[in-house]
Amino acid sequence: MATLKALVVDDASFVRDLVKRTVRQRFPVIETTDAQNGRRAQSLMSRTAFDLVLCDWEMPEMSGLELLQWMRQQPQYQKVPFIMITSRGDKDHVIEAVKEGVSEYLGKPFSPEGLSKKIIKVMGSQLKNAMERGSKSMESPADAFKESATLLTQKREPAPEPVAQSSPKSASPLLAGNAAPASRAPARASLTLASVRFSDSTLKSVIKDINLTEVRVLAKRDQAFPGILDQAVVDIEIAEGQMARLNGYVHQLQAVDKRQDTEFVSVTIRFVDEDPKKLEDLSRFVARFRAGSR
């Protein structure tokens, strides 16, 4: 049934699986192959012709930007759509990717709808024709074809202008408005702030505990909360002017107090990044955090 080929490139297997599942469910005519970094992707692309590349930016061995630069130098890939899917959404990085020939830019965490619309936008009639051929080859079109046909015929909204992300130190709902009583407020005298981004909201919070595999943050209940297993990107200032953007998913939600009217909720995010550089930066931050909490 599949007539088009897509390559999914990300060092986090959790993210690769999310992308592949979305593509498989929304576009049955696209067959997906995955790679854990740009070097592996380069090897696969040299042996197989792909119609679409969906790629992360920060990866070990070869970054997404380096893969894009190499790809645009290959005659067979000069016009193949390349979607950069990354937590690096600040304006400078968007501009840099555009200069190198990126087709579209999608920020993490993403929704299935957001990813689907980007794929439709960059593949255009090529995807539409493949979907029509796939639908006609079946006696009764499957739900996936019907859903994709609806997406293909929707009016496209203009893409929003990229907005530079601010440091999580700039504001915190935890520290503003009606402050919680001292007995129920986060215990650390010097708060370490974090922004936890989801596909449709951002949670302002303070870090309660962190290690190399997960972070536990506290957030006021009056914010929009995610669901279990939702994608997340945790923004932490690990050094002056240096941001870490850690990819993960929601592992646990728990009320801080055993009361229905508790003001604070504890959110545990499990990290999925496998980039050695990110893990090294995180390790240094964890050491400083633990030293400061003594």
pLDDT over 70 (residue 172): no
Q: What's the pLDDT at 163?
A: 39
Cβ atoms 86, 57 nearer than 8 A: yes
- pTM of the full structure: 0.73
- Say how far apart CA 97 and CA 145 lie, in whole Å: 32
Mean of the pLDDT values across residues 216-229? 93
98 pLDDT exceeds 50? yes
The fold for domain 173-292 equals Thrombin, subunit H (2.40.10)
Q: What single DSSP character describes residue 205?
A: E
123 C-beta neighbours (distance < 10 Å), count: 24
Cβ neighbours for 284, distance < 8 A, ≥ 6 positions apart: 238
135-170: burial string, b at 16+ Cβ within 10 Å, e else: beeeeeeeebbeebeebbeeeeeeeeebeebeebee
In DSSP notation, 85-106 reads EES--SHHHHHHHHHTT-SEEE
Q: Which two tokens stand for residue 276?
A: 């050695």
What pLDDT does 99 receive?
93
More confident residue, 186 or 13: 13
What CA–CA distance (Å, rounded) separates 223 from 197?
Answer: 12
Q: pLDDT band at residue 2, thresholds of 50, 70 and 90?
A: low
Cα distance from N-terminal residue to C-terminal residue, the chain: 59
Q: Give yes or no for residue 164 having a pLDDT over 90.
A: no
Assess contact for 208 and 186: CB atoms under 8 A: yes
273: amino acid identity, one letter = D
Q: Of 142, 91, 153, nearest to 116 (Cα)? A: 153
Distance of alpha carbon 190 from alpha carbon 224, whole angstroms = 25
Ordered DSSP codes for 225-278? ---TT-EEEEEEEEETTEEEEEEEEEEEEEESSSSTT-SEEEEEEEE----HHH
Q: Hey, how many other C-beta atoms are within 10 angstroms of the C-beta on 240?
A: 5
Q: What pLDDT band is residue 148 in, cutting at 50, 70 and 90?
A: low
Which tens digit of pLDDT belongs to each residue from 68-97?
999 999 999 999 999 999 887 677 888 888
How high is the pLDDT of residue 138?
41
Looking at per-residue confidence, does 181 or 151 come out higher? 151
Alpha-carbon gap, residue 194 to 57, rounded angstroms: 22
Q: What is the pLDDT of residue 146?
A: 53
In the prediction, which pLDDT does 139 show?
40
- Please write the tens of the pLDDT for every residue from 178-220: 333 433 444 444 689 999 999 989 999 999 999 999 999 999 9
Share above pLDDT 70 across residues of the chain, in percent, rounded to a whole number: 79
Q: Among 278, 250, 280, which residue's Cα sits nearest to residue 11?
A: 278
Q: Which CATH number fits domain 4-153: 1.10.287.610, 3.30.365.10, 3.30.300.30, 3.40.50.2300?
A: 3.40.50.2300
Mean pLDDT in residue range 227-237: 92
Residue 223: name the closest of 187, 173, 272, 277 by CA. Answer: 173
- Least trusted range by pLDDT, from 52-56, 138-142, 155-159, 226-230: 138-142
- What is the chain's mean pLDDT, rounded? 83
Token pair 């995610």 is at which residue? 226
Q: Is the dihedral of CA 138, 144, 145, 147 positive or negative?
A: positive
* Strand-strand pairing, 264-271 and 242-255: antiparallel
Q: Are 173 and 185 in contact (CB under 8 A)?
A: no
Mean pLDDT over 250-256 rounds to: 93
pLDDT tens string 101-132: 999 999 999 999 999 999 999 999 999 898 88
CB 5 within 8 A of CB 51: yes
Query: How high is the pLDDT of residue 89?
Result: 67
